[in-house]
Amino acid sequence: MSKVAFITGGTKGIGKQIALTLAKEGYDIAVNYRIANKDLEDTKTKIEENDVKYLAVQGDVSNYEDCEKCVKKIIENYGKIDVLVNNAGITKDSLLLRMKKEDFKEVVDVNLNGTFNVTKNVIPFMMKAHSGRIINISSVVGISGNAGQTNYSASKAGIIGFTKSLAKEVASRNILVNSVAPGFIETNMTDLLKDEIKENIVKQIPLKRIGKVEDVANVVKFLASDDSTYITGQIINVDGGMLI
């Protein structure tokens, strides 16, 4: 019987690549999306090329009831969730002096509260199965901080604390909880940055290149696999050495 992976925000960027990578490994895939987008059909087509099942469920991770409905639908269709990847996230960057309180709240609601909302609804099924993998996508700025990102950095730091605490709570049920902290990764969002800004960022990276979505997805693949059975509560930076 195929394993089932649920990736939040799994139709774009890093989340989409994680879904495709796990599909190639034979996982049946479920993704959630908040608003229908042009990548939805493309994701479906590429995943189903791997002869696996695919399910897309609509819902806002910052809304607890939406998460409840999403998980219920996945369980109705697949009967289980073996791997949860909490990837959904947003940014609303601004210096704190100018940041609107709504922008701080929304980023924390999606990134951190969303991780709680989804995990809270998935964890009972993993506990019952005495098995599971939870992989939370944080960020290096959750460790280092970054000017203009107090909201984003706070949310991603919160995910790190959430990861470590939950790992201790559920280890006895053979549920492993880890976090991946990407650095500067090439996505549609980073494509909008000016070349000068990108060049300055690359200068701070020992490997002298911007990361690819595949770099993150491959670490998630490892943490989801049977090769990682003695790893839990860890934060793995995928940053080209940026935080050395």
Cβ proximity of 155 and 107 under 8 Å:
yes
Is residue 33 annotated as a catalytic residue, yes or no? no
For the chain, counts of helices (H) and of strands (E): 10, 7
Choose, from 33, 54, 78, 152, the residue flagged as catalytic. 152
How many other CB atoms are found less than 10 A from the CB of residue 65?
10
Cα–Cα distance measured from residue 14 to residue 8, given in angstroms and rounded to the nearest whole number: 11
Strand partners, 8: 32
Q: How many alpha carbons fall within 13 Å on the CB side of residue 135? A: 32
Provide the annotated active-site residues.
152
